[in-house]
Structure 1
Protein backbone atom coordinates (compact mmCIF):
# COMPACT_ATOMS: atom_id res chain seq x y z
CA UNK A 1 0.00 0.00 0.00
CA UNK A 2 2.78 2.28 0.66
CA UNK A 3 3.92 1.81 -2.95
CA UNK A 4 0.51 2.70 -4.24
CA UNK A 5 0.47 5.73 -2.07
CA UNK A 6 3.79 6.72 -3.42
CA UNK A 7 2.49 6.29 -6.90
CA UNK A 8 -0.52 8.39 -6.06
CA UNK A 9 1.65 11.05 -4.58
CA UNK A 10 3.98 10.94 -7.57
CA UNK A 11 1.07 11.14 -9.90
CA UNK A 12 -0.32 13.97 -7.90
CA UNK A 13 2.98 15.71 -7.99
CA UNK A 14 3.22 15.13 -11.72
CA UNK A 15 -0.33 16.29 -12.11
CA UNK A 16 0.39 19.35 -10.04
CA UNK A 17 3.53 19.94 -12.04
CA UNK A 18 1.61 19.51 -15.26
CA UNK A 19 -1.01 21.92 -14.05
CA UNK A 20 1.66 24.44 -13.20
CA UNK A 21 3.18 24.06 -16.65
CA UNK A 22 -0.18 24.59 -18.27
CA UNK A 23 -0.77 27.64 -16.13
CA UNK A 24 2.69 28.95 -16.98
CA UNK A 25 2.01 28.39 -20.63
CA UNK A 26 -1.36 30.04 -20.34
CA UNK A 27 0.16 33.01 -18.53
CA UNK A 28 2.91 33.28 -21.14
CA UNK A 29 0.31 33.30 -23.90
CA UNK A 30 -1.70 35.91 -22.05
CA UNK A 31 1.35 38.06 -21.49
CA UNK A 32 2.39 37.66 -25.12
CA UNK A 33 -1.10 38.53 -26.25
CA UNK A 34 -1.13 41.55 -23.96
CA UNK A 35 2.33 42.60 -25.11
CA UNK A 36 1.36 42.17 -28.72
CA UNK A 37 -1.79 44.14 -28.07
CA UNK A 38 0.16 46.95 -26.46
CA UNK A 39 2.66 46.90 -29.29
CA UNK A 40 -0.16 47.10 -31.78
CA UNK A 41 -1.62 49.98 -29.87
CA UNK A 42 1.72 51.80 -29.90
CA UNK A 43 2.23 51.13 -33.59
CA UNK A 44 -1.28 52.26 -34.37
CA UNK A 45 -0.67 55.48 -32.44
CA UNK A 46 2.53 56.08 -34.33
CA UNK A 47 0.74 55.34 -37.57
CA UNK A 48 -2.00 57.76 -36.60
CA UNK A 49 0.64 60.51 -35.97
CA UNK A 50 2.38 60.18 -39.35
CA UNK A 51 -0.49 61.08 -41.68
CA UNK A 52 -1.00 64.26 -39.70
CA UNK A 53 0.25 67.74 -40.58
CA UNK A 54 3.82 67.75 -41.97
CA UNK A 55 6.04 70.12 -39.98
CA UNK A 56 7.94 70.95 -43.22
CA UNK A 57 4.83 72.03 -45.10
CA UNK A 58 5.20 75.65 -43.91
CA UNK A 59 8.78 75.74 -45.16
CA UNK A 60 7.74 74.29 -48.50
CA UNK A 61 5.00 76.87 -48.88
CA UNK A 62 7.37 79.68 -47.91
CA UNK A 63 9.98 78.39 -50.35
CA UNK A 64 7.39 78.25 -53.14
CA UNK A 65 6.31 81.82 -52.34
CA UNK A 66 9.91 83.02 -52.40
CA UNK A 67 10.51 81.32 -55.75
CA UNK A 68 7.39 82.96 -57.16
CA UNK A 69 8.54 86.32 -55.79
CA UNK A 70 11.98 85.84 -57.35
CA UNK A 71 10.41 85.02 -60.72
CA UNK A 72 8.21 88.12 -60.53
CA UNK A 73 11.16 90.34 -59.62
CA UNK A 74 13.29 88.86 -62.41
CA UNK A 75 10.52 89.45 -64.92
CA UNK A 76 10.05 93.02 -63.68
CA UNK A 77 13.80 93.65 -63.86
CA UNK A 78 14.03 92.36 -67.43
CA UNK A 79 11.09 94.52 -68.45
CA UNK A 80 12.60 97.57 -66.75
CA UNK A 81 16.00 96.91 -68.35
CA UNK A 82 14.41 96.66 -71.81
CA UNK A 83 12.44 99.87 -71.24
CA UNK A 84 15.55 101.69 -70.06
CA UNK A 85 17.51 100.51 -73.09
CA UNK A 86 14.76 101.79 -75.38
CA UNK A 87 14.74 105.07 -73.45
CA UNK A 88 18.50 105.46 -73.95
CA UNK A 89 18.12 104.86 -77.68
CA UNK A 90 15.29 107.37 -77.96
CA UNK A 91 17.20 109.91 -75.89
CA UNK A 92 20.36 109.45 -77.96
CA UNK A 93 18.37 109.90 -81.16
CA UNK A 94 16.80 113.04 -79.70
CA UNK A 95 20.24 114.44 -78.83
CA UNK A 96 21.54 113.59 -82.29
CA UNK A 97 18.59 115.40 -83.85
CA UNK A 98 19.21 118.44 -81.64
CA UNK A 99 22.85 118.58 -82.75
CA UNK A 100 21.94 117.97 -86.36
CA UNK A 101 19.23 120.61 -86.56
CA UNK A 102 20.54 123.10 -83.98
CA UNK A 103 21.61 125.46 -86.76
CA UNK A 104 18.23 125.35 -88.51
CA UNK A 105 17.14 128.87 -87.41
CA UNK A 106 20.54 130.24 -88.43
CA UNK A 107 20.33 128.51 -91.80
CA UNK A 108 16.91 130.02 -92.45
CA UNK A 109 18.32 133.51 -91.83
CA UNK A 110 21.35 132.74 -93.97
CA UNK A 111 19.06 131.78 -96.82
CA UNK A 112 17.65 135.31 -96.76
CA UNK A 113 21.17 136.71 -97.05
CA UNK A 114 21.93 134.32 -99.90
CA UNK A 115 18.78 135.51 -101.69
CA UNK A 116 19.99 139.11 -101.46
CA UNK A 117 23.41 138.16 -102.80
CA UNK A 118 21.79 136.39 -105.74
CA UNK A 119 19.70 139.49 -106.51
CA UNK A 120 22.84 141.64 -106.33
CA UNK A 121 24.69 139.31 -108.70
CA UNK A 122 21.77 139.23 -111.15
CA UNK A 123 21.54 143.00 -111.01
CA UNK A 124 25.28 143.39 -111.66
CA UNK A 125 25.06 141.08 -114.68
CA UNK A 126 22.22 143.03 -116.29
CA UNK A 127 23.01 145.56 -119.03
CA UNK A 128 21.27 148.37 -117.19
CA UNK A 129 23.16 147.84 -113.95
CA UNK A 130 23.63 150.97 -111.87
CA UNK A 131 26.91 150.89 -110.00
CA UNK A 132 25.73 153.08 -107.14
CA UNK A 133 22.51 151.13 -106.55
CA UNK A 134 24.41 147.87 -106.85
CA UNK A 135 26.94 148.99 -104.26
CA UNK A 136 24.18 150.12 -101.95
CA UNK A 137 22.47 146.73 -102.29
CA UNK A 138 25.71 144.91 -101.46
CA UNK A 139 26.25 147.09 -98.40
CA UNK A 140 22.72 146.43 -97.20
CA UNK A 141 23.23 142.70 -97.65
CA UNK A 142 26.47 142.86 -95.70
CA UNK A 143 24.79 144.73 -92.85
CA UNK A 144 21.99 142.18 -92.85
CA UNK A 145 24.56 139.40 -92.66
CA UNK A 146 26.47 140.99 -89.76
CA UNK A 147 23.26 141.68 -87.84
CA UNK A 148 22.35 138.05 -88.29
CA UNK A 149 25.69 136.94 -86.86
CA UNK A 150 25.38 139.31 -83.90
CA UNK A 151 21.89 138.00 -83.21
CA UNK A 152 23.39 134.54 -82.85
CA UNK A 153 26.06 135.64 -80.38
CA UNK A 154 28.90 136.59 -82.71
CA UNK A 155 30.70 139.87 -81.97
CA UNK A 156 33.58 141.57 -83.71
CA UNK A 157 36.72 142.15 -81.62
CA UNK A 158 37.69 145.85 -81.40
CA UNK A 159 40.95 146.08 -83.33
CA UNK A 160 40.95 149.41 -85.15
CA UNK A 161 44.32 151.10 -85.76
CA UNK A 162 45.37 152.96 -82.63
CA UNK A 163 43.86 150.32 -80.31
CA UNK A 164 46.14 148.88 -77.65
CA UNK A 165 47.36 145.38 -78.43
CA UNK A 166 45.82 142.60 -76.28
CA UNK A 167 47.44 139.16 -76.66
CA UNK A 168 44.16 137.52 -75.55
CA UNK A 169 42.28 139.15 -78.41
CA UNK A 170 44.89 139.92 -81.04
CA UNK A 171 47.58 138.01 -82.86
CA UNK A 172 50.62 139.96 -84.00
CA UNK A 173 52.05 138.94 -87.36
CA UNK A 174 54.45 141.87 -87.77
CA UNK A 175 56.11 144.60 -85.72
CA UNK A 176 56.93 148.02 -87.13
CA UNK A 177 59.35 150.38 -85.32
CA UNK A 178 57.76 153.80 -85.09
CA UNK A 179 57.78 156.86 -82.87
CA UNK A 180 54.33 158.06 -83.97
CA UNK A 181 52.43 155.91 -81.43
CA UNK A 182 53.10 154.09 -78.16
CA UNK A 183 54.67 150.68 -78.18
CA UNK A 184 52.37 147.70 -78.85
CA UNK A 185 49.71 149.75 -80.54
CA UNK A 186 47.77 148.27 -83.45
CA UNK A 187 48.85 149.87 -86.70
CA UNK A 188 47.09 147.72 -89.28
CA UNK A 189 44.45 144.95 -89.25
CA UNK A 190 44.85 142.06 -91.67
CA UNK A 191 41.87 140.00 -90.49
CA UNK A 192 39.21 141.00 -87.96
CA UNK A 193 38.69 138.78 -84.93
CA UNK A 194 35.44 137.47 -83.47
CA UNK A 195 34.03 136.19 -80.21
CA UNK A 196 31.09 133.83 -79.82
CA UNK A 197 29.24 134.48 -76.56
CA UNK A 198 32.38 136.12 -75.11
CA UNK A 199 34.63 133.24 -76.23
CA UNK A 200 37.38 134.14 -78.68
CA UNK A 201 36.93 131.90 -81.70
CA UNK A 202 39.35 133.82 -83.90
CA UNK A 203 41.81 136.47 -82.73
CA UNK A 204 42.34 139.53 -84.87
CA UNK A 205 45.46 139.36 -87.03
CA UNK A 206 47.29 142.71 -86.69
CA UNK A 207 50.53 144.62 -87.05
CA UNK A 208 51.76 146.42 -83.95
CA UNK A 209 54.29 149.13 -83.23
CA UNK A 210 57.58 148.82 -81.42
CA UNK A 211 60.19 151.29 -80.22
CA UNK A 212 62.32 152.77 -83.00
Structure 2
Protein backbone atom coordinates (compact mmCIF):
# COMPACT_ATOMS: atom_id res chain seq x y z
CA UNK A 1 0.00 0.00 0.00
CA UNK A 2 1.29 3.38 -0.97
CA UNK A 3 2.29 5.68 1.78
CA UNK A 4 0.09 8.75 2.36
CA UNK A 5 1.99 11.88 1.49
CA UNK A 6 0.69 13.54 4.62
CA UNK A 7 2.21 10.94 6.87
CA UNK A 8 5.55 11.70 8.47
CA UNK A 9 8.07 8.84 8.61
CA UNK A 10 8.40 7.48 12.12
CA UNK A 11 11.97 7.69 13.38
CA UNK A 12 13.12 7.79 9.80
CA UNK A 13 12.06 4.17 9.11
CA UNK A 14 10.37 4.97 5.79
CA UNK A 15 11.66 6.56 2.67
CA UNK A 16 9.75 8.74 0.25
CA UNK A 17 8.33 5.68 -1.50
CA UNK A 18 6.94 4.21 1.71
CA UNK A 19 9.60 1.47 2.00
CA UNK A 20 11.08 0.53 5.36
CA UNK A 21 14.77 1.15 5.91
CA UNK A 22 16.79 -1.88 7.05
CA UNK A 23 18.89 -0.81 10.06
CA UNK A 24 22.22 -2.47 10.37
CA UNK A 25 22.54 -4.90 13.20
CA UNK A 26 24.35 -3.44 16.20
CA UNK A 27 24.94 -6.62 18.12
CA UNK A 28 25.87 -10.05 16.87
CA UNK A 29 28.81 -11.59 15.11
CA UNK A 30 30.82 -9.52 12.67
CA UNK A 31 30.12 -10.13 9.03
CA UNK A 32 32.10 -12.92 7.48
CA UNK A 33 35.31 -11.69 5.99
CA UNK A 34 35.69 -8.74 8.35
CA UNK A 35 38.70 -10.32 10.05
CA UNK A 36 40.22 -11.17 6.70
CA UNK A 37 40.05 -7.51 5.70
CA UNK A 38 42.22 -6.46 8.65
CA UNK A 39 45.73 -5.27 7.77
CA UNK A 40 48.16 -8.15 7.33
CA UNK A 41 50.90 -6.57 9.49
CA UNK A 42 48.72 -6.08 12.57
CA UNK A 43 49.09 -8.97 15.03
CA UNK A 44 48.54 -9.24 18.74
CA UNK A 45 51.72 -8.61 20.73
CA UNK A 46 52.73 -11.42 23.07
CA UNK A 47 54.87 -10.61 26.09
CA UNK A 48 56.48 -13.47 28.03
CA UNK A 49 58.78 -13.37 31.00
CA UNK A 50 62.11 -15.19 30.95
CA UNK A 51 60.74 -17.92 33.21
CA UNK A 52 57.65 -18.39 31.04
CA UNK A 53 59.76 -18.53 27.89
CA UNK A 54 62.05 -21.13 29.46
CA UNK A 55 59.09 -23.24 30.53
CA UNK A 56 57.60 -22.97 27.04
CA UNK A 57 60.85 -24.11 25.47
CA UNK A 58 61.02 -27.11 27.81
CA UNK A 59 57.46 -28.03 26.94
CA UNK A 60 58.14 -27.70 23.21
CA UNK A 61 61.36 -29.76 23.21
CA UNK A 62 61.49 -33.16 24.82
CA UNK A 63 64.48 -33.49 27.23
CA UNK A 64 65.25 -36.90 25.82
CA UNK A 65 65.31 -35.98 22.14
CA UNK A 66 68.43 -35.29 20.06
CA UNK A 67 67.57 -31.63 19.55
CA UNK A 68 67.52 -31.00 23.29
CA UNK A 69 70.75 -32.94 23.86
CA UNK A 70 72.51 -31.01 21.10
CA UNK A 71 71.30 -27.66 22.46
CA UNK A 72 72.40 -28.63 25.98
CA UNK A 73 75.82 -29.65 24.66
CA UNK A 74 76.23 -26.30 22.90
CA UNK A 75 75.26 -24.47 26.08
CA UNK A 76 77.78 -26.41 28.20
CA UNK A 77 80.57 -25.86 25.69
CA UNK A 78 79.81 -22.13 25.64
CA UNK A 79 79.99 -22.01 29.43
CA UNK A 80 83.29 -23.90 29.41
CA UNK A 81 84.76 -21.56 26.78
CA UNK A 82 83.64 -18.56 28.80
CA UNK A 83 85.34 -19.90 31.94
CA UNK A 84 88.54 -20.62 30.03
CA UNK A 85 88.64 -17.10 28.61
CA UNK A 86 88.05 -15.64 32.07
CA UNK A 87 90.88 -17.69 33.59
CA UNK A 88 93.24 -16.80 30.75
CA UNK A 89 92.54 -13.08 31.14
CA UNK A 90 93.10 -13.27 34.91
CA UNK A 91 96.36 -15.15 34.37
CA UNK A 92 97.59 -12.62 31.81
CA UNK A 93 96.65 -9.73 34.10
CA UNK A 94 98.56 -11.23 37.04
CA UNK A 95 101.58 -11.90 34.83
CA UNK A 96 101.51 -8.34 33.52
CA UNK A 97 101.48 -6.96 37.06
CA UNK A 98 104.27 -9.32 38.11
CA UNK A 99 106.65 -8.30 35.33
CA UNK A 100 105.56 -4.67 34.96
CA UNK A 101 109.07 -3.36 35.74
CA UNK A 102 110.91 -5.76 33.44
CA UNK A 103 111.85 -3.21 30.79
CA UNK A 104 113.00 -0.64 33.37
CA UNK A 105 115.22 -3.12 35.20
CA UNK A 106 116.67 -4.32 31.90
CA UNK A 107 117.67 -0.72 31.10
CA UNK A 108 119.39 -0.42 34.51
CA UNK A 109 121.59 -3.49 34.02
CA UNK A 110 124.27 -1.65 31.95
CA UNK A 111 124.84 0.64 34.94
CA UNK A 112 125.52 -2.39 37.11
CA UNK A 113 127.81 -3.78 34.39
CA UNK A 114 129.89 -0.60 34.36
CA UNK A 115 130.24 -0.68 38.14
CA UNK A 116 131.38 -4.30 37.95
CA UNK A 117 133.86 -3.41 35.20
CA UNK A 118 135.27 -0.54 37.25
CA UNK A 119 135.81 -2.80 40.26
CA UNK A 120 137.45 -5.48 38.11
CA UNK A 121 140.41 -3.19 37.34
CA UNK A 122 141.56 -2.10 40.79
CA UNK A 123 145.00 -3.71 40.99
CA UNK A 124 148.12 -1.67 41.81
CA UNK A 125 146.22 1.46 42.80
CA UNK A 126 147.44 4.21 45.09
CA UNK A 127 145.88 4.56 48.56
CA UNK A 128 143.88 7.57 47.36
CA UNK A 129 142.39 5.57 44.48
CA UNK A 130 141.61 2.65 46.76
CA UNK A 131 139.40 4.89 48.85
CA UNK A 132 137.57 5.84 45.67
CA UNK A 133 137.16 2.16 44.83
CA UNK A 134 135.60 1.56 48.24
CA UNK A 135 133.01 4.23 47.45
CA UNK A 136 132.26 2.64 44.08
CA UNK A 137 131.87 -0.77 45.72
CA UNK A 138 129.44 0.64 48.29
CA UNK A 139 127.44 2.30 45.51
CA UNK A 140 127.26 -1.00 43.65
CA UNK A 141 126.01 -2.85 46.74
CA UNK A 142 123.29 -0.27 47.39
CA UNK A 143 122.24 -0.36 43.73
CA UNK A 144 122.20 -4.17 43.70
CA UNK A 145 120.16 -4.35 46.92
CA UNK A 146 117.63 -1.91 45.44
CA UNK A 147 116.99 -3.94 42.29
CA UNK A 148 116.93 -7.15 44.33
CA UNK A 149 113.94 -5.74 46.22
CA UNK A 150 112.10 -5.79 42.88
CA UNK A 151 112.78 -9.49 42.33
CA UNK A 152 116.05 -9.31 40.41
CA UNK A 153 118.65 -11.98 41.14
CA UNK A 154 121.95 -12.95 39.55
CA UNK A 155 122.29 -16.09 37.43
CA UNK A 156 124.81 -18.61 38.71
CA UNK A 157 127.81 -18.17 36.47
CA UNK A 158 131.18 -18.73 38.11
CA UNK A 159 134.33 -20.34 36.89
CA UNK A 160 134.12 -24.12 36.91
CA UNK A 161 130.32 -24.55 36.78
CA UNK A 162 128.86 -26.63 33.98
CA UNK A 163 127.68 -24.69 30.95
CA UNK A 164 123.86 -24.46 30.86
CA UNK A 165 122.43 -23.13 27.57
CA UNK A 166 119.20 -22.10 29.33
CA UNK A 167 120.95 -19.50 31.49
CA UNK A 168 124.36 -19.12 29.80
CA UNK A 169 125.31 -17.65 26.44
CA UNK A 170 128.63 -18.87 25.02
CA UNK A 171 130.57 -16.04 23.41
CA UNK A 172 133.73 -18.08 22.80
CA UNK A 173 135.81 -21.09 23.80
CA UNK A 174 139.15 -21.54 25.56
CA UNK A 175 141.50 -24.42 26.31
CA UNK A 176 142.15 -24.71 30.00
CA UNK A 177 143.70 -28.01 31.18
CA UNK A 178 142.64 -27.24 34.74
CA UNK A 179 138.95 -27.46 33.83
CA UNK A 180 136.80 -30.24 32.49
CA UNK A 181 135.10 -30.08 29.13
CA UNK A 182 132.00 -27.86 28.80
CA UNK A 183 132.80 -25.88 31.93
CA UNK A 184 132.64 -22.10 32.33
CA UNK A 185 136.15 -20.78 32.09
CA UNK A 186 135.41 -17.05 32.31
CA UNK A 187 132.37 -14.84 32.94
CA UNK A 188 132.27 -11.97 30.48
CA UNK A 189 128.97 -10.47 31.60
CA UNK A 190 126.71 -11.43 34.50
CA UNK A 191 123.20 -12.70 33.84
CA UNK A 192 120.03 -11.96 35.80
CA UNK A 193 116.56 -13.35 36.48
CA UNK A 194 113.44 -11.39 37.33
CA UNK A 195 111.12 -13.30 39.67
CA UNK A 196 112.21 -16.60 38.16
CA UNK A 197 112.11 -15.46 34.52
CA UNK A 198 115.41 -15.11 32.69
CA UNK A 199 115.95 -11.43 32.01
CA UNK A 200 119.42 -11.74 30.51
CA UNK A 201 121.68 -14.79 30.14
CA UNK A 202 125.23 -14.74 31.46
CA UNK A 203 127.81 -14.36 28.71
CA UNK A 204 130.64 -16.81 29.31
CA UNK A 205 133.71 -18.43 27.77
CA UNK A 206 133.37 -22.23 27.62
CA UNK A 207 136.28 -24.63 28.10
CA UNK A 208 136.92 -26.98 25.17
CA UNK A 209 140.25 -28.84 25.77
Same fold, judged at TM 0.5 (above): no
Greater helix share, 1 or 2? 1
Between structure 1 and structure 2, the one with the greater Rg is 1
For normalisation by structure 1, the TM-score amounts to: 0.43
